[in-house]
Amino acid sequence: MNSQQSLQEDQSLPNGRDLALPWHLTLPARLESAFREQFRDNAARLIPAATILMLLVYVVAFAVEHHVAPEATEISWRPRLLAAMVTVGVLLASRHALRWLQPAVAGMALVVAGIHLYLGLSVDHPLQDAYFYVPFLAILLLGSLFRIQLYWALPTSLAILAAQAVILFGASHLSDAEALVITAFTACATVMSLFGQYFFERLQRQHFLSDRVLHLHRSELHAANRSLESQATEDGLTGAVNRRGMDVRLSNLLHNMQHQARGAPDSIAVLLFDIDYFKQYNDTYGHQAGDECLKAVAEVPKAMVQRATDFVARYGGEEFVIVLGGTRLRDALVFAERMRARIERLGIPHRNSKSNNVVTISIGVACTAEGVDSAERLIHLADEALYQAKGAGRNRVACVDDDGSVRVLTP
Ligand SMILES: Nc1nc2c(ncn2[C@@H]2O[C@H](COP(=O)(O)OP(=O)(O)OP(=O)(O)O)[C@@H](O)[C@H]2O)c(=O)[nH]1
């Protein structure tokens, strides 16, 4: 590999190294917020199904409880109703306040864990200890059912675990061994759930990053293509469309017009102009000044064209073509005369011009009409008119009329 190749590679598009994720998963600020937004959007899609599932679980739990310990439902229906309401709150957040979705899910898990710890203490029944296993389910729902981000799931799970430990070891009807077993059970579930969530989120972040890198690749390629395309069809000196670009655009325009494509113009006018006595200008003021003059002259039609189909092209040396889509001969002549006058008014001194003491142009105008079916023919007609304008004394406009005759207009 030579040094130029390696230089190109160094400066080239983003590469695999951009995919490296730190162990703590946090991305640079702008990426991080974009990822969180995407994560929330994805999670929000799960919420309706997850909410229905949760509400079903509440109903089933209530039914089982009613069957096993009917007296317990006297106490439990209110806390359960609260849990159901909080769950519906999560659904509302996912629809109307997405930024509150994660805190809402975390809050719901805390409420579910809290009310079951409360029920475990308040219900007097041989099976009451079953309530103490529910916090474990609350921890699971964070990462599996509702899929909130690790940085929300981690503190919420630890808070549930801590609250459970404090309550179990303080509960008078439980021995320390029983409290330890249930706490250890929840602790194991917490570790496993967080472990799974860490790797799930890692994968999601990696996927997000590779998507971004691909997107960057695509937009850089797009920009490079656009710049290559404009370089290939733009004249470097004047910024006008070059000859090649003109051929393509004019042919396309004609083709679309002939095939009555949508948005295509119903007529096309071509103005071919040439700077008068430009050779003398170069001889008098130098090639550099000649270049500046070309640039200044080209700016005039460039500022005048308006429609998307219009363009100014450098036809060669000091000759330019202006293509006006949807313009008939009469309007093209008005445009040409206005342009001629504006260029004259630029007042670029030309002491060796035989037509004026400033730079002037001669213009030939032709329009699509019966029998004019190619770009070459259109340019040829405009060239004929230009020739006549020159012959008639320069600094004037000439056109090919509908009957094919050339008419010179006096300025
Ligand atoms: N400075 C400069 N001169 C150019 C460029 N391209 C062509 N020319 C010059 O334009 C001049 C064109 O000369 P001619 O074709 O004789 O035309 P003219 O002197 O304008 O005469 P008429 O058109 O008959 O009025 C030549 O001297 C070319 O060298 C360019 O990019 N920069």
Digit-coded pLDDT (tens) for 210-222? 888 888 889 999 9
Q: What is the DSSP string of 24-63?
A: T-PPPHHHHHHHHHHHHHHHHHHHHHHHHHHHHHHHHHHH
Which residues fall within 8 angstroms of residue 194, CB to CB, at 6 or more apart?
143, 150, 153, 154, 157
Which residues fall within 8 angstroms of residue 165, CB to CB, at 6 or more apart?
179, 183
Angle 351-356-360 (CA atoms, 0-180°, nearest 5)?
Answer: 100
Q: What is the DSSP string of 164-228?
A: HHHHHHH-TTS-HHHHHHHHHHHHHHHHHHHHHHHHHHHHHHHHHHHHHHHHHHHHHHHHHHHHH
Q: How far is the CA of 317 from the centre of ligand 1 (A)?
A: 6
Q: How far is the CA of 24 from the centre of ligand 1 (A)?
A: 68
Q: What is the pLDDT along the chain (411 residues), one digit of tens a residue?
A: 444 444 444 445 455 455 678 888 988 888 899 999 999 999 899 999 999 999 999 999 999 999 998 989 999 999 999 999 999 999 999 999 999 999 999 999 999 999 999 999 998 888 888 999 999 999 999 988 898 999 999 999 999 999 999 999 999 899 999 999 999 999 998 999 999 999 999 999 989 988 888 888 899 999 999 888 878 899 999 999 999 999 999 999 999 998 888 888 889 999 999 999 999 999 999 999 999 999 999 999 999 998 989 999 999 999 999 999 999 999 999 999 999 999 999 999 999 999 889 999 999 999 997 667 789 999 999 999 999 999 999 999 999 988 888 899 876
Which ligand 1 atom minimizes the distance to the CA of 394? 25
Q: In terms of Cα–Cα distance, which of 258, 235, 233 is closest to 377?
A: 258
Place of tokens 């445009």: 335
Q: How far is the CA of 389 from the centre of ligand 1 (A)?
A: 17
Which residues fall within 8 angstroms of residue 118, CB to CB, at 6 or more apart?
79
Domains, in order of start, for the chain: 10-216 (no CATH), 243-409 (3.30.70.270)
Which residue's CA is minimally distant from atom 15 of ligand 1? 279
Ligand 1 test: best mutation among 279, 288, 293, 388, most atoms within 8 Å of CB? 279
pLDDT of res. 6: 46
Q: How far is the CA of 329 from the centre of ligand 1 (A)?
A: 28
ipTM of predicted complex: 0.94
Ligand 1 test: best mutation among 282, 288, 359, 396, most atoms within 8 Å of CB? 282
Strand partners, 367: 269
Which residue's CA is minimally distant from atom 6 of ligand 1? 317
Find out whether 99 and 37 touch, Cβ atoms under 8 Å.
Answer: no
Q: How far is the CA of 279 from the centre of ligand 1 (A)?
A: 4
Which residue's CA is minimally distant from atom 13 of ligand 1? 279
Could you tell me the pTM of the whole model?
0.56
- Percentage of the chain surpassing pLDDT 90? 73
44 exposed, middle or buried (CB, 10 Å; 0-12, 13-18, 19+)?
Answer: middle
Find out whether 43 and 37 touch, Cβ atoms under 8 Å.
Answer: no
**What is the set of active-site residues?**
318
Do you know the residue count of the chain? 411
Q: Provide residues with CB under 6 Å of ligand 1.
A: 237, 274-280, 282, 287, 290-291, 294, 317-318, 390, 394
Which ligand 1 atom minimizes the distance to the CA of 293? 1
d(C-alpha 366, C-alpha 82), whole Å:
82
* Secondary structure element (H or E) that encloses residue 72, with its range: helix 72-96
Find out whether 106 and 113 touch, Cβ atoms under 8 Å.
Answer: no
118 exposed, middle or buried (CB, 10 Å; 0-12, 13-18, 19+)?
Answer: middle
d(C-alpha 257, C-alpha 319), whole Å:
25
Ramachandran region, residue 326 (left: φ > 0; alpha: ψ -120 to 50; beta: rest): left
Which residue's CA is minimally distant from atom 3 of ligand 1? 290
d(C-alpha 257, C-alpha 251), whole Å:
10
Strand partners, 241: 234, 313
What is the overall mean pLDDT for the chain? 90
* Secondary structure element (H or E) that encloses residue 398, with its range: strand 397-400
Ligand 1 test: best mutation among 242, 281, 318, 360, most atoms within 8 Å of CB? 318
d(C-alpha 406, C-alpha 381), whole Å:
9
Digit-coded pLDDT (tens) for 20-39? 788 889 888 888 999 999 99
Which residue's CA is minimally distant from atom 21 of ligand 1? 277
Digit-coded pLDDT (tens) for 309-335? 999 999 999 999 999 999 999 999 999
b/e 236-267 (16+ beta carbons within 10 angstroms → b): eebebbbeebbbebbeebbebbeeeeeebbeb
Q: How far is the CA of 231 from the centre of ligand 1 (A)?
A: 23
